[in-house]
Structure 1
Amino acid sequence: MLTAGVDLAAEPRGTALAVLDWSGSTVTVDVRVGVTDTDIAATAPGVEKLGIDCAFGWPDDFVTFITRHARGDRVELADDEGMAWRRRLAYRATDRATRAITGRWPLSVATDRLGLTAMHCAVLLDAVTDAIGEPVDRSGAGTAVEVYPAATLRGWQFDTRGYKTDVGARRILVSRLLDRAPWLGLDDAAEELVVASDDAFDAVVAALAARAHALGRTHPVPPGYQDQARREGWIALPVGRLEDLAP
């Protein structure tokens, strides 16, 4: 089995791709930073799962809101006003489910800086569609699946404080990851890259989350949300332990 992970940025310079080969007793890791959509799309047909760290869509209520506003229609969508109403515009169903599981809100694709990267992701998903020969199922039922590396790590009981900005914190986190997953075959160059670059590190974690999803070790889309997940996307949060992924 091959799984891949993408830490997506608005531009290729900050985008990283990791491919993990699970066919042996040691998982080989190929990780690169500065990859293009062409690089990612070329990888997609050869992997079991491609985990992408970015929102796959926008909230249904937000799409309705801006569509009505663009037409010049009145935009009230509900009787309740204030924060609860705005949160329905800002957050997807999967964001609310993620908060229920993790206790934290993900970034809002509608109101935070994530929106720029999500625009890139929409184009990337088209490229992946062309490469695999079928539309990407944003619920995660096909090749591509939406993942959330920081929440994945916390779900596996890692301390993620400071790892995005502090090289020292990231070095400790990488060391602890390898202690618990000695089968993860980071060579010296790859290990130094994931310590030096949070993008590279998140790409590796995204590929691990893709493995969890391929094994059925992620929270499923709840009953009644499948159609919405196909429009908005759905974050695959692992259940169980990191150790359960061992080849």
Structure 2
Amino acid sequence: MTRGSEHLAATNNSVSIIGIDCATQSNKVGLALGSVSNGILSIEKARKVAKNESAANVVSNWIKEQGNVKTLIALDSPLGWPVKLGEELIGHMAGASLSTDAHQMFRRRTDFFIKEKAGKQSLDVGADRIARTAHAALMLIDELTDQLGTTIPLAWSAELVDPISAIEVYPAVTLKSCQLLPATSYKKEISKERSWIFDGLSQLMNVSEMDKELVIVDDDILDAVVCVLAGYHFIRAESEGPRTKQERALAEKEGWIWARMPR
């Protein structure tokens, strides 16, 4: 038994994990529901949000259906902004110079960490369109809080001390850590890479309830499933988090990408 499975058996024998591939438009949001029982991860449902449907409604219904089982929500979206960005702009006047380097201003500590450890550059939430996705993700968490009548704090350890908690994940790094990230993009309209990824994922989790075609035709659904896998790594204590008190304090402001690192 691995260290991760020992930890899981001791703390989170039964857990629900909801993967959300976030987007600014609700009908672009990918959702996946996974369950962990006796250390085994199974995908129960995977789908897109339908037209005129609310992602929050779908997710809240899934959570309610699980009863008293702890739930971890794994979102493919930044959940915070760089501290340096706020510090630089709070007193800035139009036309004035900036004293902070662009990378330091627009990237979070976790973005540098992911680049260093995994060789992948996450999008700059301070400069890229991903900022709108981050806004939508935070609004989704707020809607879920209202619908479920409970707070949804960020999780910082595999023990999942809260009934419902959330983490930020990065599907590409999770795939890379499992040696399932293809050399060419899997985001194309018709992608044999997605079929290959699905076959690889089927060796890591139970996907018998899933329609493989859904994943082959829709990368958003695939990313949602990979978000579930990232959440599974988190509750197995396999993801790398902040390493110092200072880094943890910064992460509480900026957010942190939880991912098992490629070996």
The normalised TM-score by structure 2 is 0.78
Task: Map 1:1-247; keep pairs closer than 5 Å.
Answer: 1-23=15-37, 27-34=42-49, 36-43=55-62, 46=66, 47-69=70-92, 76-78=98-100, 85-130=101-146, 131=148, 133-137=150-154, 143-160=165-182, 161-165=184-188, 166-178=190-202, 180-181=203-204, 183-187=205-209, 190-223=211-244, 224-239=246-261
Deviations, residues 19-77 of structure 1 (Å, cap 9, x unaligned) = 112227672420110152332344457543110000001101112223223x6696634
Amino acid of the residue matched to residue 145 of structure 1? I
CA contact (8 A) 2:19 2:224 kept: yes
CA separation of 1:75/1:229 partners in 2, compared to 1, >3 Å: closer, same or farther?
A: farther
SS in 2 for 1:117: helix
The answer for unaligned runs of 5 or more in structure 1 is: 79-84, 242-247
CA distance in 2, matches of 1:139, 1:128: 20
Count of aligned positions: 231
| RMSD of aligned alpha carbons | 2.6
Bigger mean CA offset, 196-205 vs 32-41? 32-41
Identify the range of structure 1 (50-59 vs 136-145) with the bigger mean alpha-carbon deviation: 136-145
Amino acid at match of 1:98: I
Q: Secondary structure at the match of 1:158?
A: coil
Structure 1: which amino acid aligns with 2:199?
S
Confirm or deny: 8 A CA contact 1:4 1:51 kept in the other structure.
yes
Q: TM-score, normalised by structure 1?
A: 0.83
What letter matches 1:32 in structure 2? R
Which structure 2 segments of 5+ residues have no match? 1-14
* Cα offset, 1:191, TM superposition: 1.5
Shift of 1:218: 0.5
Distance across 2 between alignment mates of 1:193 and 1:120: 24
CA separation of 1:153 and 1:9: change in aligned 2, threshold 3 A:
same
Paired letter, 2:78: A
1: distance between equivalents of 2:216 and 2:74?
Answer: 20
Name the CA distance, whole Å, in 2 between partners of 1:240 and 1:111: 27
Measured in 2, the distance between the counterparts of 1:201 and 1:28 equals 11
Change (3 A) 1:14 1:108: same
